[in-house]
Structure 1
Amino acid sequence: MIAAESSTPLPADWRDIFALTKPRVMSLVVFTALCGLLASRAPIDPVLGFTAILCIALGAGASGALNQWYEADLDAKMKRTAKRPLPDGRMDRTTALHFGVGLAGFSVVLLGLATNWLAAAILAFSIFFYAVVYTVWLKPNTPQNIVIGGAAGAFPPLLGWAAATGDVTLLPALLFMIIFLWTPPHFWALALFVKTDYAAAGVPMLPVTAGARATRAQIMLYSVALAASAVAPWVLGLTGIIYGAAAVALNAIFFALAWRVWRNTATDAAQMQPEKKLFGFSILYLFILFAALVADRLLLA
């Protein structure tokens, strides 16, 4: 996986460093972590709260940088990642590695000092899980990489809650489970219409190893599990009607889109509009669901 370093200076700038952190992914991490912090309803100094969210964002950025450092050769083989700083030759890999490791260490230590060491330990584990367990072990070796690896992206609300309270209770555990079960249908919808990229790079994503039909069936199954986990906080009395109504409505739409994906028989990416719609809505789904959670917890306290 490690390519030879360039002997000439590379024209990297701050935008390339920023791109290493996967800012689009980071935006979702920041949002769900903030929702976890606010949903805890714990009194926390605004400066410390801001520091906690900043540390979680930096930890996510470190994970992204380490992922891109390790996968630079793989990224070069796929159209949607070939223009990233490393495969495009705008940055050397040593710089990316040092940036990722340094950012990881800084974010964990600062979070521990600013809030508590439980939150810092969870952040450290989440970075390790994404950079090592998912990137190095799961992704290149099993079509279930997204299922197990989905845990890496599910930590932010747990982190926000732990940073504010110093503990982990049932509600943040359910928030973790929502994102964990959301990840497979979200990512497999994308993988269906970029399957050729993964096949060319030799990544054993489910659409490549099991085919489109099996992947669509799995999307349906996980959509049902997601709906159950999403309404659980309301059913268990941990949230009120604002969250409950949003969870029911959002999951009805999600299930309807997943049903269209399951019914689709297209194998050509140009005909996979149901998959593209599900992927697009899945992002909106998570933002609205977590926003409803915060509104519910703060307004109905």
Structure 2
Amino acid sequence: MSTARPDEPVPPDATESADSPASSASAASPASPGSAASPMPGAEVEAARASSARGFLAEYRWGLGVIGGLGLLLLLLVLGLILTANPHGGTPTDEGDGRGTAGEDRATGPLGGEARPEKSGHEDLLPAGGEAFSDGEGLVVGEDILPGTYRQDPGSGPEDAVCFYVIYADVGESTVRRTGADDRGIAVLEEGEILDSVDCGDWLPLEDTFPERPADEFGTGMHVVGEHVEPGTYELEWDEDTMLCWWDVFRDLRGDGHTLDSGFVPRDDPEFGEPLRITLVDHEQLVVNSEACGTWTKVS
């Protein structure tokens, strides 16, 4: 076995690799996580992204502004088309009349009544009548008679008898909708209501009672403004033999009705016989009713 002589030199490479600690020339590379001389890779990436984003915004800022403006313009255009298609809001099926069954089909009525000619635009408030009918008690609207608007035919009832009718809200007869007497009464009958008609004779669909031209005077009975009588101002020629004068102006006859004006003057009232005028405006005043007052004549 051979051994190195004490005076034999040792190769430098072997000495450094075996015994020497890492020299300053062989310090950790920049890729080493423990190096304090270089930043971490994650921070470098984030800094690069931020710089790139700032550069993009600076270079394309005008383009982004144009895109945003076009988007706003498109939104306004869509809103304009929606409002143009439905200017009053609501759904296309909104009627706004709130009358339920009676408003289902104003052209023919829910049970097939004939449409009446369009004259003064009262169709919504005075739905077309169905078929004529005669006196009866407990007549159910929608079963015994068709819904719609009817007018009593003067002279069709018993001689020397007074027509009297009552409209009840339902079969239970718990609520009275309207009562009426004398000739030419007008009744709007809605589905489910009950009618008692005594000594009235025949009831005709309202449209069948319209004359070719509205009159410029009227007496006892109910008259549609613009159909039976002309709009305008009327003055009363008192019936000196009557015991009272009672008159009403209606906006609506459906349900419980809507009275705009009314008057009641008994014979012993100081106002009896004094000048009396009323003004009827088409599409505002619907029906005028006069009971035993005399004759109303148009003066203007």
In the superposition, the TM-score normalised over structure 2's length comes to 0.24
Does 1 or 2 have the higher relative contact order (CA < 8 Å, sep 6+)?
A: 1
Greater share of strand: 2
- Larger % of helix: which? 1
Give the greater-gyration-radius structure (CA). 2
